[in-house]
Chains A and B, each alone.
Chain A
């Protein structure tokens, strides 16, 4: 579905990503992990063509991308409701209006939230609005930056169920950026570690080893040492 060859992204003279090559087959889930500032979000933005890059990023013909950003610097005083936004996207993409109700249901946006101004939504509600926005237009690839950063536990579970069902039932290709290693372990077919050194990639079982994580985050990973009684340990964000 996606093929990246020798990708390089520079901000000024600083190379954020360098010599990155990978393939993501359709209906698979790629998780991107790495410390802050390692270029995870930049990589997603490059895939979407939002930042200039050199090298090649090729999507299969017929790829429709949905994007859920980590945060949106939306102006809280805009007189826009979720519905306004979804309607604007539906009209722009020439999609039928009924799709709005469908994606709202999937993202668990109630009718009341749909008609609330974006500035009045809580962090978690806003996240749901972003998910609904991304799902509108029937994407077959979902790029998801920190899916659960601002959700409470219950909604978090719900988002994972949603991701899972999207992948299982609709054969959606997923690209996740996540700090939540348990999520990565559960969902990812492949894991890409970005760090200051060479990026590494492989199935979760090979990548998520204590030694690897220690090198990646340059700190001992409490989560994985105590893996057998993980519920005692506060969740990593």
Chain B
């Protein structure tokens, strides 16, 4: 058991960087809402794991993976059917998750603050976050080309279909890394809100990635401080969500002033 809060905070800050980077690409790919659905799919997994008294993150990871493959398949088709299907999956995941999760664990599953950090949990989280950050830098050129035009990227030799799957998997891995802090409902908040804020602040591609990550780190740092000072350190997830939304509001002012 790692009792020092340093480990948790280090993990949370690295999660913030990863979420800012992945969220930036998710925003440009216009898949933030599909990503939201993916993250909610963690809930039934968490619930079943609580019931079986196994590590909830194992259950969350399992349903996240299923959800990712599902959304990847849905992405191949387009049109109303996809949107409808995503909507149905979303509603079903929340309903099933809420029904199976034991009442006393529901708040944690939804909003974060899972059981104390073990060494194994720390190492798994650390590996996931570092991998996500590495992936974004390794694949950023391919991702940028595919963003512009899937055909042109493919003509240049990028395997776009594979790239889409890798990106979704990395997106889910980021959500997974965030489940501990933010829960199934809020894990995607840090993928969405800081990227939206970063986009308000800059119109430059390279600046955008950094701006989103910086905002994300600020939100996590600020959220933990807010939680500690005013909410007795009970549940950092909502506090982080509030701070990130506040930062988005501020960025809006800046844009309006321009």
A interface residues, Cβ below 8 angstroms from B: 45, 48-50, 65, 67, 69, 72-75, 78-81, 84-85, 87-89, 91-93, 117-118, 130, 133, 137
Main secondary structure of the interface of B (DSSP, over half): helix
Q: Closest CB of chain A to B107's CB: distance in Å? A: 37
Decide: B155 and A89 in contact? CB cutoff 8 A.
no
Q: Within 8 Å CB of A49, what residues of B?
A: 154
Decide: B151 and A75 in contact? CB cutoff 8 A.
no
Q: Within 8 Å CB of A45, what residues of B?
A: 151
Decide: B147 and A75 in contact? CB cutoff 8 A.
yes
Q: Closest CB of chain A to B35's CB: distance in Å? A: 17
**Alpha-carbon distance between A91 and B142 when the two chains are bound, in angstroms:** 9
Q: Within 8 Å CB of A117, what residues of B?
A: 203
Residue B158 is within 8 A (CB to CB) of chain A in the complex: yes
Decide: A80 and B148 in contact? CB cutoff 8 A.
yes
Q: Give 7 new A-B contacts, CB below 8 A, not counting A81-B204, A89-B156, A93-B156.
A: A48-B155, A50-B151, A67-B155, A75-B147, A80-B147, A92-B145, A137-B156
Residue B55 is within 8 A (CB to CB) of chain A in the complex: no
Q: Within 8 Å CB of B204, what residues of A?
A: 79, 81
**Alpha-carbon distance between A84 and B206 when the two chains are bound, in angstroms:** 9
Q: Within 8 Å CB of B199, what residues of A?
A: 79
Q: Within 8 Å CB of A48, what residues of B?
A: 151, 154-155
Most buried by A among B147, B148, B149, B202: B148
Known: A69-B152, A92-B156, A118-B148. A79 touches B208 (CB 8 A): yes
Contact with A along B116-160 (1 / 0, CB 8 A): 000000000000000000000000111011011101101111100
Residue B252 is within 8 A (CB to CB) of chain A in the complex: no
Q: Within 8 Å CB of B33, what residues of A?
A: none
Decide: A89 and B203 in contact? CB cutoff 8 A.
no
Q: Within 8 Å CB of A87, what residues of B?
A: 141
**Alpha-carbon distance between A91 and B156 when the two chains are bound, in angstroms:** 12
Residue B30 is within 8 A (CB to CB) of chain A in the complex: yes
Known: A89-B141, A89-B156. A78 touches B151 (CB 8 A): no
Q: Within 8 Å CB of A130, what residues of B?
A: 152
**Alpha-carbon distance between A133 and B155 when the two chains are bound, in angstroms:** 11
Known: A49-B154, A74-B149. A91 touches B203 (CB 8 A): no
**Alpha-carbon distance between A68 and B188 when the two chains are bound, in angstroms:** 37
Residue B205 is within 8 A (CB to CB) of chain A in the complex: yes
**Alpha-carbon distance between A117 and B205 when the two chains are bound, in angstroms:** 10
Residue B28 is within 8 A (CB to CB) of chain A in the complex: yes
Decide: B30 and A67 in contact? CB cutoff 8 A.
no
Q: Within 8 Å CB of A72, what residues of B?
A: 148-149, 151-152
Decide: B28 and A78 in contact? CB cutoff 8 A.
yes
Known: A79-B205, A92-B142. A67 touches B28 (CB 8 A): no
Partner of B152, one of A78, A80, A133: A133
Known: A72-B148, A74-B148, A75-B28. A81 touches B156 (CB 8 A): no
Partner of B149, one of A65, A69, A79: A69
Partner of B203, one of A73, A74, A75, A79: A79
Nearest 7 Cβ contacts at the A-B interface:
A88-B141, A67-B155, A88-B144, A92-B141, A72-B149, A84-B205, A91-B141
For chain B, residues 183 to 225, give those with C-beta under 8 angstroms from any C-beta of chain A: 199, 202-206, 208
**Alpha-carbon distance between A67 and B153 when the two chains are bound, in angstroms:** 10
Decide: B28 and A85 in contact? CB cutoff 8 A.
no
Q: List 25 A-B contacts (CB under 8 A).
A: A45-B151, A48-B154, A50-B151, A65-B155, A67-B151, A67-B155, A72-B148, A72-B149, A72-B152, A75-B30, A78-B147, A79-B202, A79-B205, A80-B144, A80-B205, A81-B204, A81-B205, A84-B144, A87-B141, A88-B140, A88-B141, A88-B142, A89-B141, A89-B156, A133-B152
**Alpha-carbon distance between A122 and B236 when the two chains are bound, in angstroms:** 48
Most buried by A among B28, B154, B203, B208: B203
Decide: B205 and A69 in contact? CB cutoff 8 A.
no
Q: Closest CB of chain B to A102's CB: distance in Å? A: 17
**Alpha-carbon distance between A2 and B43 when the two chains are bound, in angstroms:** 53
**Alpha-carbon distance between A80 and B202 when the two chains are bound, in angstroms:** 11
Decide: A79 and B152 in contact? CB cutoff 8 A.
no
**Alpha-carbon distance between A72 and B28 when the two chains are bound, in angstroms:** 16
Q: Within 8 Å CB of A65, what residues of B?
A: 155
Partner of A67, one of B145, B152, B206, B208: B152
